[in-house]
Structure 1
Amino acid sequence: MDTEMMLSADMKVLMNHIYEFKKGVRQMVLYTFNKRYESSVKARLDRQNIPYLTQPVGETCLNLFFGRQECLNAIQLIVTKPLNKLTPEEDFILGAMLGYDIRVQCERYCERKCRLCRQA
């Protein structure tokens, strides 16, 4: 493990996400990080037998989904494009799966859906 990785605030966030997942606080996590840490991140998850998926975000970042295999199976069916291209329904499901506040997800869904209705 290189020193830069050990000192990175981003890597500390990852370690907290892993801790919460292992304690059962989260069933699935979405973590966005710089590609330069990709091999270290994947190695850590592999060592802990945590399943994951990655998705490119622009030139320098990756989205990392990790958690229960059932959740990742659903993610593979739902998240087939960049997150900012998800439909309001797909975005709602993803937020719910990530454990976001369901009331806030409902508000977000209604706002996005109404915005789309006005554009049509």
Structure 2
Amino acid sequence: MQSVTMPIDLKVLMNHIYEYKKGVRRMVLFTFNKKYETFAVSKLKREDIDYIIQPIGNDRLNLFFGKRECLDAIRMMVTKPLCHLSPEEDFILGAMLGYDICAQCERYCERKKRVS
């Protein structure tokens, strides 16, 4: 019997969903190949997890999923490519995603210096 291996993108997605359901994360940003969109969306719908998909080019997608309150804020804040977020928007997004707050502070200061 031949076993089917799951692509790494889907393994990462499954891990993110696991962490979200266990309460480790309140929101996740997952960037992946568009060819897995149907699988990702159907999995999130089956798990009753809210999500937002944003195309980013080169057959890649950003998939935000998690708590509705977080996604409501994302809908208001992330209205352009992530690389065009202001230093403040970038900081807030990183904090919402649970990134290391000291690293986010350093990133904010660096980005703010470049803008000034």
Q: Give the secondary structure class of the aligned counterpart of 1:49.
A: coil
The residue that corresponds to 1:26 in the other structure is 25
TM-score (norm 1): 0.92
The residue that corresponds to 2:91 in the other structure is 92
Deviation at residue 59 of structure 1 after TM alignment: 2.9
Deviation at residue 61 of structure 1 after TM alignment: 0.5
Give the residue type in structure 2 aligned to 1:90.
E
The gaps in structure 1 that reach 5 residues or longer are none
Are 1:72 and 2:71 matched, yes or no? yes
The residue that corresponds to 2:39 in the other structure is 40
Matches within 5 A, 1:99-118: 99-117=98-116
Give the residue type in structure 1 aligned to 2:40.
V
Take 1:24 and 1:76, find their aligned partners in 2: how far apart are those partners?
22
The residue that corresponds to 1:13 in the other structure is 12
Deviation at residue 19 of structure 1 after TM alignment: 0.3
1:10-54 CA-partner distances (Å, limit 9, x unpaired)? 100000000000000000000001000101100000000000000
Give the residue type in structure 2 aligned to 1:22.
K
Runs of 4+ aligned structure 1 residues displaced above 4 Å come to: none
TM-score (norm 2): 0.95
Task: State, as a whole percentage, how many aligned pairs show the same letter.
Answer: 64
More helix by share: 1
Give the residue type in structure 2 aligned to 1:114.
K
The residue that corresponds to 2:49 in the other structure is 50
Give the residue type in structure 2 aligned to 1:34.
N
Q: What is the Cα-based RMSD across aligned positions, in Å?
A: 1.2
Take 1:85 and 1:62, find their aligned partners in 2: how far apart are those partners?
16
The gaps in structure 2 that reach 5 residues or longer are none
